[in-house]
Structure 1
Amino acid sequence: MSNSHIMKSLSILTDDVACAKQLNARNVRILSTGGDRGRGVFAARDFLPGEIVIIGLIERMERTRTTNSFQLDWNVHALFQEPAVIVNHSCDPNLAIVPNRFGAYDFVAIQQISSDAEVTWNYATTEFECVGVSVCLCSSENCQGSAGGFSALTPDHPMLVAGFYAPYLKNARR
């Protein structure tokens, strides 16, 4: 591969990242939740199911799991850039994750989301054992009390049935 081909490929990827950041800036806002959950991410426009709300971008890889890292594989953890890293957990989320071309996850609407609504995802869909939410503050009707992790989800959990979880967890024993 020539240097000019490599430079062109890097330029395209840089343009793609810039485009992803612009899309994120148009789609969502980071605001205070007004409660114990601190900051959260809120829709800047209406979304229909299936629309990408946030394009996840990796800030840096982590050597070990942290309370803010995303698990990408069994021993692979990454810190995502804002706004993705700020999205709060919910046991009844309005977003699901899907792998993206940047090696991260996109956050896709799984129900209609109105402008100004907080967007949330279930941390257990990427973490085999979740360390980020020991006490859940989502207050949803289906609240499990903590994110718990993929290993704690029941086989009939809606996110599992729909296939909305990290690919590395596909063959995980539950």
Structure 2
Amino acid sequence: MDKPPTSEITWNHRDFRRTFRKQRKFQATSGEKYSSLNRAGERNSMSDTHINHDLSILTDDVACAKQLNARNVKILSTGGERGRGVFAARDFLPGEIVVIGLIDRMETVRTTNSFQLDWNVHALFHKPAVIVNHCCDPNLAIVPNRFGAYDFVAIQRISSGAEVTWNYATSEFECIGVSVCLCSSRNCRGSAGGFSTLPRDHPLLVSGFYAPYLKKTQGTFQERDRVA
């Protein structure tokens, strides 16, 4: 059987790391706030936390995180079989946090809408994260956040009005949410498939953009190949 085509995801790793570090360098130790200055150098307060209006700085204030999500994206109809989707409300650079994931509730088993956080640990996220559609060539990648969920970070330039997507296989060892993929990307694999089906040279795996639990002993490629 031919190896699944390698994704066409392209981004400048240097630009991504530089932008992402700009956001993360404001992170303090546990319990402290994130803070930054806006482009004009003026401070803007939201729930006693200073927000950078160029970068979506994550805060440990859930209410503020929800406001940032509302400012960054909109939930709209895709106009097709995929139903609703999440669309950028402004332009984003590689490395910017587009959606902050927040846990709604824990699930006892994997569901079509749950996110896998660890082996046998699943959770449902609040909107808009739970609405973000799968794509085999996504413009977002997941990174763990301090809320115990995932943030969705731009891995390429995203224009205002564009749909934002991520690859479900980067968090789900086995994915039941997308049995038939409708992303229509040139390298569409036909279904999300799950981490166990991704080729080893997939750009998201090479770059380390997949759930941390998959990097543990059970998540090594040797174990993955044995389980698969």
Q: Among 166, 171, 178, which residue is 1:121 paired with?
A: 166
Q: State yes or no: 1:28 paired with 2:73.
A: yes
Match of 1:90 in 2: 135
Aligned-pair distance for 1:15?
A: 6.7
Match of 1:39 in 2: 84
Relative distance call for 1:16 and 1:137 in structure 2 (3 A) is: same
Match of 1:4 in 2: none
Rounded Cα–Cα distance in structure 2 between residues aligned with 1:158 and 1:149: 15
* Helix, strand or coil at the partner of 1:141: coil
Q: State yes or no: 1:63 paired with 2:108.
A: yes
Q: Is the 8 A contact 2:60 2:146 kept in 1?
A: no
Q: Which runs of 5+ in 2 are unaligned?
A: 1-30, 33-46, 49-58
Rounded Cα–Cα distance in structure 2 between residues aligned with 1:141 and 1:49: 22
Aligned-pair distance for 1:39?
A: 0.2
Task: Calculate the aligned-residue CA RMSD, in Å.
Answer: 1.8
Q: Among 92, 111, 120, which residue is 1:75 paired with?
A: 120
Aligned-pair distance for 1:66?
A: 0.3
- One-letter amino acid matched to 2:64: C
TM-score by length of 2: 0.70
Aligned-pair distance for 1:106?
A: 0.2
Relative distance call for 1:110 and 1:140 in structure 2 (3 A) is: same
Deviations 1:38-93 (A, max 9, x none): 00000000000000000000000001000000000010000000000000000000
TM-score by length of 1: 0.91
How many pairs were matched up? Answer: 165
Q: Which runs of 5+ in 1 are unaligned?
A: 1-7
Rounded Cα–Cα distance in structure 1 between residues aligned with 2:71 and 2:185: 27
- One-letter amino acid matched to 1:25: A
